[in-house]
Structure 1
Amino acid sequence: MTDDGPVRSPSRMNALEAMMWRAEVDPRLRSPVTIVDVLDLEPDWERVVEAHEQATRFVPRLRDRVLEPWWGWGLPEWSPDPGFTLSDHLERRRLGGTGGRRDLLDLAAAWASAPFERDRPPWAAMLVTGLEDGRAGYLLKIHHSLADGLGLVQILRLLHGSERDPARARPLRAVPDRDGPSRLGLTGRRAVGLLDAAPGAVLAGLGWAAGAAERVVSDPLGRTRDGVTFLASAARAAVPHRVPPSPLLRGRSLDRRFLTWDVDLEELKHAGRAAGGSLNDAYLAAVLGGVARYHARFGVVPENVSVGMPMNTRGSDDALGGNHWAGLRFAAPLRETDPAARIRLVRDVVADLRRERVMDGLGLIAPLLASLPPVLLARVQGGATRRNDLQASNIPGLSRPAFIAGAQIERSYAFGPLPGGAVMVALMSNRDTCCIGATVDPAAVTEPDVFAACLDEAFAEVLALGRPGHRA
């Protein structure tokens, strides 16, 4: 943690964040992002409490609740929770069972599935003791509207310690002195803002139309072609590929199961390069290979599956935390059995997506969707996300040793939300290891242990490409 002042973030949600928050009128669209850390020893509870108290003072957003304007007039706002109490968000629990990884993941999945209280800051943390070999677990879940995966890692990098026993304890910061509006006051401001913006929007629209007309008159053929190209690109970004859903992954429920894999970071890089791709290409190719193997076990392998993948759009000037990503959708091939060829296919598909004039189709329509009544928003958003057989994410994680209250983080897994889909796989690097976590709906993946074994085989197949003597 630095000695700078508290981290400041915009008070108003953006349209994408508002969508994720409001769509939870349908419980299938809940959006928790969960981190599961494995610690080398059980940290002192008092130090854990002190570290979290310090964290909420350094990142005041952790003390903020979501304030909705009446009648949905405008976007929600983050506002200080006048009744904030750390004990409402932090707990300690002893693990049952054998204390193994499976017990920890089952506890984490059940805990992460519980909804946040809507009138409190949407995050929670848990220290889990009783793991085998004297280890401990640390669980953290936040609502996706508070931060995306990279935004959460940014916060964690500031809050983790860089050594086991610091030379001196930091004095607690003062609680930031901040005032928040009432719901009535927020509604009034939003209403005035809408009235003030209306004339300007009309004039801007007229000006844009006049300018567009002038440009078309000066170069009618070129402008028409450019407009058609733009609209076609926007349509490809905004409308998901019409890939038939996998017949094997159609079931949906509110239950979740967490799975993990540990993959050597350098080996995965070498495998990607050996086949002419990147680490991300090799990662996606391995996941697709595992999904194909799982289908093959049941005698049906579709030609393609629908895949959703976030692309980071965060700039150097963007505030810490929050959400800055574009949602990419594509049809991913399943029947390519050569892992090197699969890596190149993934490379080409993703490269084509990045070359589109418009990549962020969701960003284009998010302001409109966020303004819909929540029930209608949930129907529209759920109808789109349920078509995703697979979602995949790659998050740069910890590059150096990190500690929580004196305990070192040995492994750190990210489990993304699964709003209506079948499988969400996230890779988060932890020094020299790719910690890969999958959130699966057991109604879709009815044999999760078989699914885990299939991905084991697929990663082994891909990693072999980068080893000496192997020809890709």
Structure 2
Amino acid sequence: MSETGLRWADADEMSAFETMMWRAEADPALRSTMVAVADLDAVPDWSRLVDAHDWATRMVPRFRKRVVEPPLGLGAPVWSPDPDFHLDRHVRRLSVPAGEGWSEVLRIAEHLALTPFDRERPPWEAVLVEGLPDGRAAYLLKLHHATTDGLGSVQLLNGLLNRSRETDRDKPQPPPPADAGPGPWAALGRQVRHDAEALAAVPVHMVRAVGSALRDPIAKAREAVAFGLSAIRVIGDPGATPSPLLAPRGPDWRFVSMEMPFAPFRAAAKAVGGTVNDAYLAALLGAFRLYHEALGSPTDTIRMSIPVSLRSEDDAAGGNRIASLRLTGDLVEKDPAARMARIAADVARGRAEPAADDVGLVSPLLARLPGSVMAAVAGGVTKGNDLQASNVPGIREEVYLAGAKVDRMFPFAPRPGCAAMITMVTHGDTCCLGANIDPAAITDRELFGRCLVEGFVEVLTLGPGDPPAPMLRR
């Protein structure tokens, strides 16, 4: 990594988890596209914006690399410089018709997210949307999840955005990647070498394991049994009954955006001894309860899943370092404080599981399967979820893009067959929430948006004073 900390993901081989996300797209419902939508206070200078992307692709070499598969898929894909890389294939601008506003931006973002990547090119795109009211603009950045996770993408943007409207003339200017990179057969050869090294290491590990077991056989047997039972609990069915109302599934994505001040929300969480994440999940469960009640279909539970970051302070920025907790979402409890307490206990219990890294457990195996088989296995888990939710710390200081201030940053994460994937990023002093919903499951988007607002109002009432209500962005 360079002194700037931006040369993340220099490794040219995909991890098992990244391989799984890349190949699981054999099922279109499991597309792993992330879209960030930035609300800008002005229209950026186009030439500066293009130059900024050129600089970013030199600072982050993966932005100039495409994914190369080994022959017959026998091994992990690799990142290799695109020999025909051109920015105009990745960066474009458009203007909305007069009178159109944020709803049109979301429609463009939905279309962008549902358009498959050209798998022969680096998997990212950027779109500048001009013509918004009051001289404002929007910037859309589309990334494949194989490039990085949600926290990694925030780290990436934090490093690439300016701290003032003016150009930083002192920033480093690295050259673009010069090497040709590995090809398909090189990727296969590397996999054969890795497998041979792993096989050669088996006897050593076996001798160590046997020696350890002989020193304390009872303790080792207990550890093995405990880990096996933990793996069953983590990977197995969490026991929640899914919502009949949300059972239909379709291929489309629809976006809902909401914002609210961060300080009152954090104060509400602290008032009852909870965390912002506890309050966030409690608010979402409140919203789902209200939505079910409004449609005359109340239910006791939903199936939900949340990502848990496995990053340590020593981990490089970027990449994918997450595990997944599968939880029972309680829609019976109407007291938001009680919901928060249960959520805190459930998450703490899940984090303490010896086999908490379920993604790390299964991804090496799934990564060796054909894409269609991998998609069937992974989809069998994620499609059973009614809700997947993520809360990502965002950029707290003022940042600028080619002369325009980034006022808000709304995240829209992949929806791997579940009814809703909802993500919150704290940008500056504002919580920015992006909901990616399945219109076949959540059929009334306007009603669901209002329920989201009311779910967060429930939690905000736990705090002091009279905080402003959350606001849907339309």
TM over 0.5: yes
TM-score normalised by the chain length of structure 1: 0.94
1:86-128 residue CA offsets vs partner (Å, 9 max, x unmatched): 1111110112363221111111111111110111100000000
**Corresponding position of 2:147:** 146
**Corresponding position of 2:49:** 48
1:195-236 residue CA offsets vs partner (Å, 9 max, x unmatched): 3432322x1453255235414xx453x443333222111221
Corresponding residue to 1:280 among 277, 287, 290: 277
Are residue 241 (structure 1) and residue 238 (structure 2) matched? Answer: yes
Letter in 1 for 2:424: L
Return the alpha-carbon distance in structure 1 between the equivalents of residues 36 and 167 of structure 2: 24
**Corresponding position of 2:125:** 124
Q: Secondary structure at the match of 1:75?
A: coil
Q: Secondary structure at the match of 1:466?
A: coil
Return the alpha-carbon distance in structure 1 between the equivalents of residues 461 and 453 of structure 2: 12
Which residues of 2 match residues 403-418 of structure 1 at below 5 A? Answer: 403-418=400-415
Structure 1 stretch displaced more, 444-453 or 238-247: 238-247
Return the alpha-carbon distance in structure 2 between the equivalents of residues 219 and 198 of structure 1: 25
**Corresponding position of 1:108:** 109
Contact 2:256 2:436 in 1 (8 A): yes
Corresponding residue to 1:402 among 399, 406, 410: 399
Q: Secondary structure at the match of 2:106?
A: helix
**Corresponding position of 2:356:** 359
**Corresponding position of 1:90:** 91
**1:6, distance to aligned residue in structure 2 (A):** 6.5
1:351-379 residue CA offsets vs partner (Å, 9 max, x unmatched): 11122222111211110011011111111
Return the alpha-carbon distance in structure 2 between the equivalents of residues 230 and 189 of structure 1: 32
Which residues of 2 match residues 45-444 of structure 1 at below 5 A? Answer: 45-96=46-97, 98-166=99-167, 168=169, 173-201=174-202, 203-211=203-211, 213-215=213-215, 218-220=216-218, 222-444=219-441
Letter in 2 for 1:80: P
1:254-302 residue CA offsets vs partner (Å, 9 max, x unmatched): 2111111112111111111112211111111001100110011122222
**1:144, distance to aligned residue in structure 2 (A):** 0.3
**Corresponding position of 2:470:** none
Return the alpha-carbon distance in structure 1 between the equivalents of residues 6 and 398 of structure 2: 24
Contact 1:6 1:60 in 2 (8 A): no
Q: Secondary structure at the match of 1:398?
A: coil
Return the alpha-carbon distance in structure 2 between the equivalents of residues 205 and 165 of structure 1: 56
Return the alpha-carbon distance in structure 2 between the equivalents of residues 129 and 394 of structure 1: 29
Contact 1:5 1:58 in 2 (8 A): no
1:394-432 residue CA offsets vs partner (Å, 9 max, x unmatched): 111111000000000011011110011110110101111
Contact 2:129 2:138 in 1 (8 A): yes
Letter in 1 for 2:23: R
Q: Percent identity?
A: 43
Structure 1 stretch displaced more, 367-376 or 185-194: 185-194
Contact 2:113 2:142 in 1 (8 A): yes
Q: Secondary structure at the match of 1:437?
A: strand
1:275-333 residue CA offsets vs partner (Å, 9 max, x unmatched): 22111111110011001100111222222111111111112332221100111111111
**1:334, distance to aligned residue in structure 2 (A):** 0.8
Contact 1:96 1:103 in 2 (8 A): no
Letter in 1 for 2:235: A
Return the alpha-carbon distance in structure 2 between the equivalents of residues 29 and 16 of structure 1: 14
TM-score normalised by the chain length of structure 2: 0.94
Instruction: Mark the CA change 1:184 to 1:281 in structure 2 (over 3 Å): closer, same or farther.
Output: same
1:38-73 residue CA offsets vs partner (Å, 9 max, x unmatched): 000111111110110111011111001111111222
Letter in 2 for 1:225: R
Are residue 448 (structure 1) and residue 448 (structure 2) matched? Answer: no
Letter in 2 for 1:33: M
Structure 1 stretch displaced more, 254-263 or 66-75: 66-75
Segments of 5+ residues of structure 1 without an aligned counterpart are none
Q: Secondary structure at the match of 1:397?
A: coil
Return the alpha-carbon distance in structure 1 between the equivalents of residues 260 and 330 of structure 2: 23
Structure 1 stretch displaced more, 143-152 or 352-361: 352-361
Q: Secondary structure at the match of 2:411?
A: strand
Contact 1:275 1:341 in 2 (8 A): no
Instruction: Mark the CA change 1:189 to 1:170 in structure 2 (over 3 Å): closer, same or farther.
Output: closer
Instruction: Mark the CA change 1:131 to 1:469 in structure 2 (over 3 Å): closer, same or farther.
Output: closer
